[in-house]
Structure 1
C-alpha cells in the first residue's frame, strides 16, 4: 500500500543487483500531486536514507528530481538518482536522461548489461576545501576515533560534487569496521558545517577503496551506498594526487552493514565532473 494516497511509491536498491544489498530508495515517478510536506512524509514513512521524487517530464529525457531523507530535503543523492534512472529505464527503456536537481543538471545514461540495468550519473562540477583543526578534532571526538585512527595521508577535507561530505581516511580496515559514534554530537557538527555525510575511507589498493558513511543529519545511523559521496571522493582523490586524472576506482560499501554494494567512480582527463556507475533492482 502506498504511504500516500496520491503517490505510487516504488522501492529500488542501487549499487547492487541483489534486493538485499546496496542502498534502498523510494522512487515516485510522478510526484506532481505532492507538496513538500507530503514528500517528506513519504520519505519518513519509508525510512530509507533518501527517496526520489520526479516531476515535470519534458518528453526528451528531462525530469525535475528532488530528494528527501526521513528528516529533510537534501540537494543531491547519488543512489536515489541511480534508482530513479533504473525505474524509468524499466518503464521506458534504457537511454539518456537529464535530471534537474537542487544541485544542478545531472545527466544519467542507463544501459542494459546482460540481465542488469546499469546507470552512470555525471556529477556537477566538484571541489574540495579545508577543515579547521578544531572542527576535525570535534569530528574525531564524535566518532570516538583517536588521532592515530587516521591514515597519515591524505589529509581530511570537505569534498563536494552536489552535496558536502567530510572525507576521513582510516589507518586500518579494523578502524573502519569499528563504527560506534555519538549520533547527536556528530549531527550537531554536520549541521554547522552543512555536511550531508561523513565519508570514512580505507584504501585497499591503488584503485580499490572501502567506505562507510554516517548520516545522522538524515535520521539514519549509516548510509549503505552513497553515490553523492562517491562522486565527491573522486574529486578528493584526484586533488590529493591519490589517483591519476583518468582513473577508474572501485568503492565497496555496505558490507559492514550486511548490505554490500559496489560503486564505480570514473575520472576523465579534461573534465572536472565525476562519473558514478552502479546497477540496481526493484525491491519486492
Structure 2
C-alpha cells in the first residue's frame, strides 16, 4: 500500500491550477513501478520522495505518464508544499536529477501561503525545426525569435502578437508529437501580466495547466528581447483556456547575457489524500 497526496499547484483555490500526486515515502517503489503509477494516475506529473543522496533534505523523482523528467516546476513546488506542511523550518533543499533546488516558504501562522524555488539556469539556442513547429501550431509569424531553453525539460518559446491569437491556437498534436524532447510554449503580452500555453505530446501532455519550469526561461526570454528587466518580477498566467487558472511569478537576476539566478514562486493547496492498494 502506497500513500499519496494530491495538491493543486500555482493556485490557492481548489480545482484550479495544475494537480500533482506526491508519494511522500517512495523508498520501496521501484523505478518501473513509479512509471506505471504515473501512467495509472495520468496527471501531467507524479512525484516520488526518497531519502537524499547528497547535501539535501529529500530527493525527488518526477514522472509524466510516459517518461521521467530531471526537473519540473509545478510538481516540485507542489511536493515542497506537501512536505513543508509537516516541517517547522522555512527552507527545504530538494535533490533532483537536474541538481539541488532550494525552496523558501512564506507562512501565515503554520500555513504555507507561498513557496519560492531557485531553478536551474537554462542554456538556450535557436530552435532548429521552427518551420515544422509553426506549421503544427498554426502560427504564421511569431512576434519574437523562436528559441529553445533547457533547464531539464526543453521548452521552445513562440511569441504571439495578442492574447486573442494565443487563445485561438489549436495545435496539430500528431504533428507536434513528431518533434521529440520538447514542449511548445506559446505566450502573449496581457498588459499587466503575460499569458502562456504549453503543448507537449512528446512528454505525454496535450496541454498543461501550469508549467513552472517554463516560467523562469520565459522571463529570461523576455529580458533578452527587451520586454523585461533583470530584477523585475513578472506575473505569468496559464491554464485559462483549460478552465484551470494558474498564476506564477518569476524573477531573474543577471547582467547582459549572464544569468546569475532564476526564481519562480507560487501557491498550492492540498485537495486529496489516497492509497494505492499494491
Same fold by TM-score, threshold 0.5 exceeded?
yes
Q: RMSD between aligned alpha carbons?
A: 1.9
Q: 1:1-284 alignment to 2 at 5 Å?
A: 5=1, 7-57=2-52, 62-113=57-108, 116-132=112-128, 135-145=129-139, 147-148=140-141, 150-151=142-143, 154-189=144-179, 191=180, 194-195=181-182, 197-205=183-191, 208-269=193-254, 272-284=260-272
Secondary structure of the corresponding residue to residue 86 of structure 2: helix
Q: Distance in 2 between matches of 1:37 and 1:59?
A: 23
Structure 1 window deviating more from structure 2 (173-182 vs 27-36): it is 173-182
Q: CA deviation at 1:58?
A: 7.6
Q: Distance in 2 between matches of 1:50 and 1:37?
A: 15
**Alpha carbons 2:53, 2:59 under 8 Å: kept:** no
Q: CA deviation at 1:105?
A: 1.3
Q: CA deviation at 1:33?
A: 0.7
**Alpha carbons 1:126, 1:235 under 8 Å: kept:** no
**Alpha carbons 2:251, 2:264 under 8 Å: kept:** yes
- Give CA deviations for 1:16-55 in whole Å, capped at 9, x if unaligned: 0112111100101111111111111111111110111110
Structure 2, gaps ≥5 residues long: 273-278
Q: Distance in 2 between matches of 1:103 and 1:60?
A: 14
Q: Distance in 1 between matches of 2:155 and 2:244?
A: 21
TM-score normalised by structure 2 residue count: 0.90
Q: Distance in 1 between matches of 2:73 and 2:265?
A: 10
Secondary structure of the corresponding residue to residue 8 of structure 1: strand
Secondary structure of the corresponding residue to residue 38 of structure 1: helix
Q: Distance in 1 between matches of 2:153 and 2:261?
A: 14
Q: Distance in 2 between matches of 1:36 and 1:235?
A: 34
Q: CA deviation at 1:229?
A: 0.6
Structure 1 residues 34 and 260, CA, compared in 2 at 3 Å: closer, same or farther? same
**Alpha carbons 2:105, 2:112 under 8 Å: kept:** no
Q: CA deviation at 1:14?
A: 0.7
Q: Distance in 2 between matches of 1:50 and 1:30?
A: 17
Q: Distance in 1 between matches of 2:27 and 2:226?
A: 44
Structure 1 residues 59 and 111, CA, compared in 2 at 3 Å: closer, same or farther? farther
Q: CA deviation at 1:245?
A: 1.1
Q: Distance in 1 between matches of 2:188 and 2:236?
A: 10
**Alpha carbons 1:111, 1:118 under 8 Å: kept:** yes
Secondary structure of the corresponding residue to residue 27 of structure 1: strand
Structure 1 window deviating more from structure 2 (86-95 vs 76-85): it is 86-95
Secondary structure of the corresponding residue to residue 207 of structure 2: strand
